[in-house]
């Protein structure tokens, strides 16, 4: 079974870290008409005809040039400009979350490149001053480092987040159930897998157990790795797991969640077909976790 979130993360480009300080090489690649450039206004991109627009260097505006790397025999850059264009036409310039449907249909399979570009753009947008001395930061290494006048260097950060489908009962049996939850701000019927951030000094497996216990009161024993997905919204890596419950009584925290339910496969299928259960979209690892447990595709999505 092919999972769309894994397809979006496939086809990794060569990031060419050793070339980020090589100004002569960077200029040579920039002069190549086959080089492709993504224009980012602040942290937003303007889709054209439902596609992510890559342009030639000659058609790119002035801005910070960010080397993304090489892929499919070409060099790929981003140019990050000020946010003015996106402010003037906000409905036309979309943040990464709004671009996900376009990436799912992208025949260039450029999602890893877009994730790379917007992850850096988001990081630079919120990282303006040195956390050690308070001096302004300036980009270097083709946008992959920020340094202050005192040469304190900052690097892009990625926060590990766990996302999990929790199961109970005999694996594969008709009465096996999976646990889904919903937030109060979501529309009626929308449920998803549980998720949360890994805390300092914590293993990923223990983060799964803690988050499930905190949000639902369910105790999890065995935890198995499923897969991962870049998720720079703004700076996360989603690590998927399958957890086995050793208790089933639910006591939601009413903070992160306002409801959580156990679903059998028959209940999930019937409610998804009726539209009373709305599951996450296919570009999210959450959908992949649910359909992996269910054993096939399900109707309806956010």
Question: What's the rounded Cα separation, in Å, for the pair 75 and 22?
Answer: 14
Prediction pTM value: 0.89
Residue 170 per-residue DSSP state: S
- The predicted model gives 221-249 an average pLDDT of 95
Give the lowest-confidence range in 86-100, 143-157, 224-238, 247-261: 86-100
CATH of 4-154, one of 3.90.79.20, 3.40.50.10490, 3.40.50.300, 1.20.1090.10: 3.90.79.20
- 4-154 and 159-294 in the same fold: yes
Instruction: Tell me what the pLDDT averaged over the chain comes to.
Output: 93
Place of tokens 């889904």: 180
Identify the CATH homologous superfamily for domain 159-294. Nucleoside Triphosphate Pyrophosphohydrolase (3.90.79.10)
Return the percentage of the chain with pLDDT > 70, whole number. 96
Chain-centroid distance of CA 17 in Å reads 22
What gap in Å lies between CA 59 and CA 77, rounded to an integer?
Answer: 13
Q: Where do the structural domains in the chain lie, given as residue ranges?
A: 4-154, 159-294
Residue showing tokens 């926060």:
159
* Arithmetic mean of pLDDT, 120-128: 96
Cα 225 to Cα 49, 76, 154, 292, distances in angstroms: 38, 32, 31, 13
What is the per-residue pLDDT across 68-119, written as a single tens digit (0 to 9) for each? Answer: 999 999 999 999 999 987 777 778 999 998 998 888 766 556 889 999 999 9
Over 90: is that where the pLDDT of 8 sits?
no
């Amino acid at each position: 079974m092919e999972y769309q979130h894994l397809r979006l993360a496939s086809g990794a480009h060569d990031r060419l870290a050793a070339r980020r300080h090589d100004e002569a090489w960077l200029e040579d690649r920039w002069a190549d008409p086959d080089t492709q450039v993504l224009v980012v206004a602040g942290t937003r991109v303007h889709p054209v005809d439902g596609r992510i627009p890559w342009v030639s260097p000659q058609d790119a505006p002035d801005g910070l040039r960010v080397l993304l790397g090489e892929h499919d025999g070409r060099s790929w850059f981003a140019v990050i400009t000020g946010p003015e264009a996106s402010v003037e036409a906000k409905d036309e310039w979309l943040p990464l979350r709004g671009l996900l449907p376009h990436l799912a249909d992208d025949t260039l399979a450029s999602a890893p490149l877009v994730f790379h570009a917007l992850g850096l753009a988001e990081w630079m947008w919120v990282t303006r001053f040195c956390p050690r001395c308070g001096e302004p930061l300036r980009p270097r290494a083709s946008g992959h480092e920020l340094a202050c006048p005192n040469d304190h260097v900052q690097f892009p950060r990625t926060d590990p987040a766990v996302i999990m489908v929790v199961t109970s009962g005999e694996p594969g049996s008709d009465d096996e159930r999976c646990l889904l939850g919903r937030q109060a701000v979501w529309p009626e019927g929308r449920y998803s897998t549980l998720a949360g951030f890994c805390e300092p000094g914590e293993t990923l497996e223990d983060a799964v157990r803690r988050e499930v216990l905190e949000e639902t009161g369910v105790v999890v024993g065995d935890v198995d790795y499923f897969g991962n997905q870049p998720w720079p919204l703004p700076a996360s890596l989603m690590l998927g797991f399958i957890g086995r419950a050793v208790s089933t009584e639910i006591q939601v925290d009413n903070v992160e969640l306002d409801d959580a339910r156990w679903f059998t496969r028959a209940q999930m299928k019937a409610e998804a077909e009726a539209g009373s259960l709305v599951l996450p979209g296919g570009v999210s690892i959450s959908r992949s976790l649910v359909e992996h447990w269910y054993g096939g595709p399900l109707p309806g999505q956010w």
